[in-house]
Structure 1
Amino acid sequence: MEPVEILADQLRGMARAAIELLPQAVVALAVVIIVALLNKLGKMLMQRVLGRMRLRQSLKELLILLFSIVIWTTGIMIAAVILFPGLTPASILTGLGIGSVAIGFAFKDVFENFLAGIIILFRREMRIGDHIECEGIEGEVKHIAIRESHIRQTDGQLIIVPNSILFKNPVVIRTDKDHRRIRIICGVSYDTDVDAARDIISDAITPCDTVQQDAGPVQVFANEFGDSSVNFEVTWWAGSTPADVRRSRDQVVAGIKRALDNAGIEIPFPYRTLTFKEPLPLQSPKAD
């Protein structure tokens, strides 16, 4: 046969196959359209239902996304079986399984962050607006997505953190409660009466409006003998945000300094006492 005739026979065979598949293609297309409508209707219903539940917005979006994936996967499998009768759901699932393994190895980090994000979204401890610290990253949680979280530092910079870091490492949530205990060390000279200094420091903290008296008592303990002073450990409760902590620390330190100055109690500078084995000769200045 001539090449032209061979090509014509192949084209006629392809045309006949296409015509034979036309009814299945129409039905498969109708299935896809129905799936699209069902997906849209299902998403609207889920949005209504989830809107009444007290869940994070990112978690609501995740549930809607998973629902959409399930609907589309099922619909595409049905359409593929209709279009190609030789396919079976078992063979499709087998192919998807093999493909999933290959994709899993290729995108290991992506899937790790995705799964970590799902677990983080179900946590109640870390919320939008919390101040956290993890692996040297500290700031306010602005957004929790599926694969990453957005942390705004106190200097205004935004850090995008992969969720696997927040999942695999310890996370300090500084604003888990509305108050936090603050600690400072205050030293007084060795010739000061310790009991009197303790009362003066405690009385200086009590009037500060940034100190939360209802969260816990102000505590002042003689802590150690320092190089130049008797050191007191001073603790009190204040707001938990970084701004609240800085504001309260400033007010308390200023109040203690003012009270000790008014009482004539010295906050000594560090000094050293030098001892020599041999007496040092002293020479008087020569008179002119």
Structure 2
Amino acid sequence: MAESLVASLPAMVIALIIIGITWAVAKGASRISARIIGKTELRPSLRNLVDTLVRLGVWLGGAMIAAIVVFPDFSPTSLIAGLGIGAVAIGFAFQDFFENFLAGVMIMLRDKMQIGDVIKSGDIHGKVEFISLRESHIRAFSGELHVLPNSMLFKDPVEVVTDLEERRFEVVIGVSYDTDLDDADAVIRKAVGSVDLVSKDKDIQVLADTFNSSSVDFVVRWWAASSGPDAVMNRDQVVRAIKRGLDEAGIEIPFPYITHTFKESVPMAEGIREAA
């Protein structure tokens, strides 16, 4: 064994040199592909996919050459035969890895959910910061970073909030039953339209929706920017404007009348005392 180890040292040294050359070639190929892709209009996720595939191809070729140097009997044909024999075992052992890998490729290829988009998936709500072949990073608005396996984002429903530049917002507001609904409609519509962050290109909807316990409820809908600070501040400004407009018009926003049921604890305590 010692003689065999000493005899194989030159081949191992050459293999290590080949691995070092492979690392340098992979790095250079990545830079060249980045320059070429930089002149195109490919999405950031596709650029990341091309860069990963280039480096992966170089590393596979270098590893193959190094393996042939160390094991002269090794050949691509024997590698394919070995993979055929162990394909089932490898598939079970690395099922999650291959699932996330393929899901990552599909996510990078599709047009939706790109880096920079705001998405919702289950309890996750935040901005896409990074997409790799195995996992994606979602930054919540409260600062936390969610690292999700790509299979989750590929199989579960994903709501892309920023797919369009503008999206519709809505809020529910109630007015008292003695209010003229047409007057309330006009006041609310004027208040929403006075907010600068509300889109002026799309209609504002003020829809009488429900006879509630103490009010007639309106569903108020408007369009505004789907991302950035305006997406957060426009609702605040709209609610303030509606409240201010209704107050100035003398229209009441009622609150539900809540009744509380109290048990007569004193007589019950006396009955228990007498029974004792």
The normalised TM-score by structure 2 is 0.78
Looking at structure 1, the residues matched to 138 and 117 of structure 2 have their Cα atoms a distance apart, in angstroms, of 10
Deviations 1:155-191 (A, max 9, x none): 1111111111100101011111121111111111111
- 8 A Cα contact 2:19 2:62, kept in partner: no
Moved more, 30-39 or 89-98: 30-39
Aligned to 2:119: 132
CA distance in 1, matches of 2:253, 2:70: 88
**Contact 1:201-1:256 at 8 Å conserved across structures:** yes
Residue number in structure 2 paired with 1:225: 211
List alignment gaps of at least 5 residues for structure 2.
260-276
Work out the CA distance in 2 between the residues paired with 1:131 and 1:197: 35
Q: Structure 1, residues 189-231: CA drift from partner, whole Å, max 9, x if none?
A: 11111111111111111111111111x1111121121111111
Spell out, residue by residue over 1:37-59, the C-alpha distance to the aligned partner (whole angstroms, 9 max, x if none). 76566445433322222334454
Tell me which residue corresponds to 1:255: 241
- Structural RMSD (CA): 3.3
Deviation at 1:89, TM superposition (A): 3.6
Query: Residues 178 and 99 from structure 1, CA distance in 2 versus in 1: closer, same or farther, beyond 3 angstroms?
Result: same
Code of the aligned partner of 2:243: K
Distance 1:246 1:79 in 2: 56
Aligned length: 257
Alpha-carbon distance between aligned partners in 2 of 1:264 and 1:94, rounded to the nearest angstrom: 84
Cα distance in structure 2, aligned partners of 1:100 and 1:180: 48
Maintained 8 Å contact 2:44/2:114: no
Instruction: Give a deviation string over 1:82-141, Cα, whole Å, max 9, x none.
Output: 776655542231113334443332121122111111111122211222111112111111
Q: For 2:114 and 2:84, how far apart are their aligned partners in 1?
A: 36
Letter in 1 for 2:223: W
Q: Equivalent of 2:200, from 208, 213, 225?
A: 213
Say if 1:39 and 1:71, in contact at 8 Å, map to a contact too. yes
Farther off after superposition, 242-251 or 152-161: 242-251
Q: Structure 2 vs 1, CA of residues 227 and 104 (structure 1 numbering), >3 Å: closer, same or farther?
A: same
Aligned-pair identity in percent equals 47
Distance in 2, matches of 1:148 and 1:34, equals 28
Matches within 5 A, 1:167-206: 167-206=154-193
* Aligned CA distance change for structure 1 residues 222 and 81 (closer, same or farther; 3 Å): closer
Name stretches of at least 5 consecutive residues in structure 1 with no aligned partner.
1-6, 274-288
TM-score (norm 1): 0.75
